[in-house]
Amino acid sequence: MKLREDEVRVPASGYEIRAMVISPAGAGPWPGLLLYTDIFQLTESTLRTARRLASAGFVVCAPEIYPRTDLAGVALEFDDAGKQAGLAGAAATTTAQFDEDRAAVLDHLAGRSDVTTLFATGFCLGGHLAFRAAFDPRVAATVCFYPTGLHNGALGADADAGSLARAADIAGRLMIVFGSRDPHVPADARLRIVSALYAAGQEDLELHVYAGGEHAFMRDVGARHDPVLTDHALTEAVSFLTER
């Protein structure tokens, strides 16, 4: 499938959010998919994943997650300096700011003539942000890939964003993907997440734990990448979102 790529500037309160919109070529309409990056923002690795999802028939909108900081417009390298800069960007952003930016991007997607249903997805910190996107009643389904901080609430500048405590606010369908060897979301953390979801009444959901998967196993750069698990995870995600 041929794709179209556009850089857009989503208006927010006193600033703009740079985002890449990748969609099938043609008039559409298609479902809109808000895609949250990991801490490294709009890297070519993330954009390759966005293209794969767009080729499945989605208008994928991938915004920068640090538009208020000096990292606006910056795609970080996958090295120690890039990691530290990404973590610093997260530490400078509150949950309320993440939520405000989410509303702006969803408003943009909802207002597009080529978009129908709204979905959300994300990776690592972006998986946590995708979980919070599911609080918006417009989001019909969400896929969170190895969300960090969800089990203990840590998100950006906040020690406890209270995300799991709001699990009952999720009205759409939910799928969460973990790797069994992820040190950021080990077995006890996964158990805490699942228990909280069930306690909130979220029993109609999909939970996947991929044997041998490390943290960021879907990032196609570096030794952690597992191409087979990545293909499997993306296939399962598309199937889940489209209910096929």
| The residue to which tokens 């309160």 are assigned | 13
The one-letter amino acid at 217: F
Q: Which is the catalytic residue, given 38, 61, 108, 124? A: 124
Cα–chain-centroid distance for residue 65? 10
Catalytic residue chosen out of the listed positions 101, 136, 158, 182: 182
- CB–CB of 160/154 below 8 Å? yes
182 is catalytic: yes
Q: What beta strand segments (E) does the chain contain?
A: 3-11, 16-24, 30-36, 59-63, 115-123, 139-145, 173-181, 206-214
201 — alpha (psi -120 to 50), left (phi > 0) or beta? left
Contact 70, 163 (CB under 8 A): no
Distances (CA, A) of 47 to 65, 99, 125, 164, 219: 14, 23, 16, 29, 11
Within 8 A by CB and 6+ apart from 235, the residues are none
Active-site pick, 128, 151, 215, 226: 215
144 annotated active-site? no
Active-site residue 215, yes or no?
A: yes
DSSP string, 199-239: HTT--S-EEEEEEEEETTTT-SSSTT--HHHHHHHHHHHHH
Give the catalytic positions in this structure.
Answer: 124, 182, 215
